[in-house]
Structures are given as structure tokens and as C-alpha cells.
Amino acid sequence: MKIAPSILSADFAHLARDVEKVEQAGADLLHVDVMDGHFVANLTFGPLVVQALRPVTNLPLEVHLMVSDPAAWAPAFAEAGADTILVHEEATDHLYGVLQHIAATGVRAGVVVNPGTPLSSLEEVLPLVDQVLVMTVNPGFGGQKFLTAMVDKVARLHQLRQDRGLHFDIEVDGGINAKTVKAAADAGTDIFVAGSYVFSASDVGAAISSLREAVQ
């Protein structure tokens, strides 16, 4: 399993310090939630934040674009140093093309589905992607409760991956803690985004370790 702390839950006044803390605690990558105030109500980070983080961490940076026009945003984040760029199925009428353009920049390309979006909408793009992110909360804000109904969705995606002989990573985002992580892992999840559970913990290392221990 890989654990991706979401910097949306970090202390923005001490972002480099918090990133260093989770890296030393054993995080596998960093999750950067980009929100434009339109696709979702919140407003967060731009490419300059990724550019600033790139020299202060060796962890891969995955950028989750919660924006209305991902084709316009993706190139700047690729240039800023993102290792993976994730775009919402719901955000574009030209998903196939957007994913192709991301892959052409040399960055890993991923697709995201909201809780109400069926997996059938991904049929044509699955061979293109390196990663599929299943939202286990409604997008836009941290600290929400895990939607248990999404466990079955992850299991169906895992089965689809096996049936079609594909090799994309499966990721979940939202409400991940020591109580919810095992169900998602058992369903076939590879990468777990954890925000407030990690960054709000008094002992970040213990929080990350507890996620790993919960799936054993």
C-alpha cells in the first residue's frame, strides 16, 4: 500500500515543515488538491505551490485537479514538477484527449470519479491511464466521513482491471483513517489519500503507521 497525505490538511503557514514531517514519517507521495472555486466551491493551490514544493521533497507529487477546464490547467502543473496529474471525468467533454495531452508531457495521467459517477463512463479511457481515483467523499472539502458504498465501486474497478489485463493503480480519497482503510484495501485499493487523519495527528508517524497496521 502507498499512503499519500493531502496537503490540504497541512498548516499552510508551515507547509515545507509539514511536508518534511510526513516524508520522514514514511509517506509514499504527496497529494495536492487543486480547486478553482467553480468545479467545487473551495479555492486552494496553483502551480506555484507545486513549484515551491518540488525542491523541498523527494516524494512524488500528485496533483488532483478539481477544476472546470483541466486541459487549461494541466500543462502548468506538469511544468511546475507534478509527477501525476489527475482529472475528473465530470470536468471535461474531452477526457480522452486531455489524458493524452497529460501523458505526452511525460507525467503520469490519472482519472477521478465522483461518488455518483458510474464506472461505465471510464470504459474507453482505462487503457490510457496510470491511475484511477475513486472519491470516497463528495469533492471540495476535507474532513468528511467515508462513504462506505464506494467500497463496492472499488471492488468492481479492481475486477475490471483484472478482467481487462490493465495495470493502473487504484486510489481512494476521502475519510481515510485506521477504521476505514482496511475495507478499501480489501476491495483492491493501492493508494490511500489521508488528509486530516495524518496532518491533525499529534504524532504523524504513528498515524501513518496505524494505517499500515490496520490492513495487515
With cut-offs at 50, 70 and 90, classify the pLDDT of residue 41.
confident
Q: What kind of fold does domain 2-214 have according to CATH?
A: TIM Barrel (3.20.20)
Please compute the mean of the pLDDT values over residues 111-137 and round it to a whole number: 97
In sequence order, what are the beta bridge partners of 64?
Answer: 33, 86
Residue 74 contacts residue 98 (beta carbons within 8 Å): yes
Annotated binding-site residue? 174: yes
Q: Is 141 annotated as a binding residue?
A: yes
On whether 163 is known to bind a ligand per the annotation, the reply is no
pTM: 0.96
Active site residues: 33, 173
Nearest to 35 by CA among 169, 138, 145, 144: 138
Percent of the chain as helix, strand, coil, to the nearest 5:
45, 20, 35
Q: Is 194's pLDDT higher than 90?
A: yes
**Alpha-carbon Rg for the chain in angstroms:** 16
Q: Quick check: 142 pLDDT over 70?
A: no
Domain extents in the chain: 2-214
Rounded to 5 degrees, φ, ψ at 171 are -125, 150
